[in-house]
Chains A and B, each alone.
Chain A
């Protein structure tokens, strides 16, 4: 389908661990939150990769690590051939021009003391001062650019001297988008850009993002927890659970044939705004707790809540299996070997054996 398209971003075995410290004088490291724990994917030019998963599974940390707002613990982030994790400061600054972010809460992410004009023009002004733009811009040219951007995202340019608090949530999100577009980036990392908005405003912003993508050949990584929103906007979708990608597939494929038991539960639980359909659906109701992200699990991270768990799953971490059609899933159900008949004792014995071998 997308064979001719160029790969813009490659993420390889990315890990972002946050140390947990004792505090106090010694402040010893006693563990780590494994916020992102070895994820890999590629994003093609002009496409949208959607990321879904429950609160705390590491979605924000993923995009922040890609943008190098945090330096990753390990792994590679290769943008147009340049490995950002190893790049020098100068190279990184240039790459940042092409990688922009939009945030969930447009109010918290906009400086309340700055006018809309200075918010939108700030990236331009900074890059201009450092001579990092293709050509030096005059003050007037920057002013014109701000007006053009405001009109493009549907803001009245007469409001450019106003402050963020004078705008509604949807308008503030437009300000954030205009600012992200100012440097003419290749990829936009959007962290829940519509989650805080009411449905009627959400539709306006989704339409705007879609139009901009077509017009500017933009690539998006788009985080949301609403599965219908993700389906609407994405070409490819990654489902995350506790710092790992458990399923990765083309959007249509994922929604038609969800493979991972967690994805199946998510899709079955997402409400559909139609009483006839909604009341006839079979729901998979999960039980059990989400394990804490600071512990290394001996088995599948989803097993405590999984309705299809086998004894094998409790003590073996599933690798990623390729189901063809570039559909990947991390679940033992999709290995060639059938584990369902293996007893708890046998599974545990096998796990113990592997442990001693590793030693």
Chain B
């Protein structure tokens, strides 16, 4: 799709765990993917599958304790963020990688004027910009995100704005530092579709104008279809399928992906069959997951091997990867079953 691909962010075998009373939650359990310059990558999956934790780990914003990044690498422009000292990390955070959080109210200070917060953000990252200049830039940014009468309203407090406007302020702040990567965690989930359309269009525009790479986290398959170049499907702390958007929707390889796509009601289909396809059961608890395919209790194609061994990654076509035993050879499956039996006998 895109020819001269240049990776800006590479995530390799990332693992983030939380210590809880019930045991260790393996929220992110070996996640790898690559984001190229100017590309929009979607991350989809059910609630609790680890989407937010993955992206908070990239920014090293995991609350510790109880959380800890226990393994893997996050390469930004070839440099491992996970090894950087805090001072250098701050350079990257907000400056080069910026983030729109799932809940805008938690990331805006309710006691400070929008203007104060925006000016601070800009000056934190660019120390030579004076207040006047930063204010001018903030107003420009607010106008860009479609806040009417930005000059007057920049001095409002967050609660004086509607949910959609606060979200747009967050986006304006995230964009005011010309970051190279924008991580947007469910930027539109709390909004209604007309406002959602405005905001998604804005993100797309900025990505085009400035060549910003975007990681878009969402559980709306419609949003992904419209916005993303590439999609990662997560399940129980792992990426189970990764492909370019058209390929994923046309030839979903993982039973979970195809189940998801089929279970959404669609406005455009002619046959309004009254029964929706549904994936029975519910996602597993990520504490003490046995070595097996985490999806097997809900899968309608389960085989013996799925119950006793973790499926490796297969490349079903170029740039289309899936973690599922359906794509293994008979010998490979037989060997995995035999190995598991041996392990059990011990």
Contacts and interface: CB of A to CB of B under 8 A. Distances in A.
A266 B268 CA distance: 14
Nearest to B149: A289
Interface residues of A, number: 47
B46 A198 contact: yes
Interface stretch (A6-14, A156-164, A271-279, A332-340): A271-279
Contacts of B261: 273
B267 A267 contact: yes
A290 B275 contact: no
Contacts of B263: 199-200, 202-203
A203 B278 contact: yes
Best-surrounded residue of A169, A170, A171, A228 (most CB of chain B within 10 A): A228
Contacts of A201: 46, 282
B192 A210 contact: no
Interface stretch (A19-27, A98-106, A280-288): A280-288
Contacts of B246: 275-276
A278 B276 contact: no
B12 to A, nearest CB: 28
Contact of B282 (A168, A231, A270, A272): A168
Contacts of A203: 263-265, 276-279
Looking at B162, B193, B275, the one whose CB has the most chain A CB atoms below 10 A away is B193
Given A198-B219, A228-B266, A288 B148 contact: yes
Interface in A170-217: 170-171, 198-204, 206-207, 210
A179 B278 CA distance: 23
B193 A283 contact: no
Contact of B162 (A272, A274, A290, A305): A290
A321 interface: no
A255 B192 CA distance: 18
A204 B278 contact: yes
A54 to B, nearest CB: 4
Contact of B221 (A199, A207, A232, A266): A199
Interface in A216-233: 225-229, 231-232
Contacts of A228: 264-267
A265 B194 contact: yes
Contacts of B197: 268-269, 283, 285-286
A138 interface: no
A286 B198 contact: yes
B309 interface: no
Interface string B234-276: 0000000000011001000000000111011111100010111
Contact of B201 (A207, A274, A285): A285
B193 A274 contact: no
B217 to A, nearest CB: 14
A225 B265 contact: no
A269 B196 contact: yes
Interface residues of B, number: 45
A55 interface: yes
Contacts of B249: 273-276
Given A203-B279, A266-B194, A275 B226 contact: yes
Contact of B268 (A55, A225, A272, A288): A272
| B148, B197, B198, B224: residue with the most chain A Cβ atoms closer than 10 Å | B197
A271 B280 contact: no
Chain A interface, >50% SS class: helix
A269 B46 contact: no
Given A168-B282, A207-B276, A290-B162, A199 B225 contact: no
Given A227-B267, A272-B266, A273-B264, A232 B193 contact: no
A273 B198 contact: no
A333 to B, nearest CB: 19
B260 A200 contact: yes
A288 B148 CA distance: 7
A290 B161 CA distance: 11
B130 interface: no
B192 A278 contact: no
B71 interface: no
B220 interface: yes
Interface centre among B148, B222, B245, B260 (most CB of A within 10 A): B222
Nearest to B48: A198
B193 A225 contact: yes
A270 B267 contact: yes
B211 interface: no
B282 A170 contact: yes
B124 interface: no
B156 interface: no
A198 B189 CA distance: 12
A200 B264 CA distance: 8
Nearest to B163: A55
23 contacts: A170-B282, A199-B219, A199-B221, A199-B263, A203-B265, A203-B278, A204-B280, A207-B278, A228-B266, A231-B265, A231-B267, A232-B276, A265-B194, A266-B194, A270-B267, A271-B222, A272-B267, A274-B266, A275-B249, A278-B225, A279-B225, A285-B201, A288-B148
Interface of A: 54-55, 168-171, 198-204, 206-207, 210, 225-229, 231-232, 255, 265-279, 283, 285-290, 305
Interface of B: 46-47, 146, 148, 162-163, 190-198, 201, 219-226, 245-246, 249, 259-261, 263-268, 272, 274-280, 282
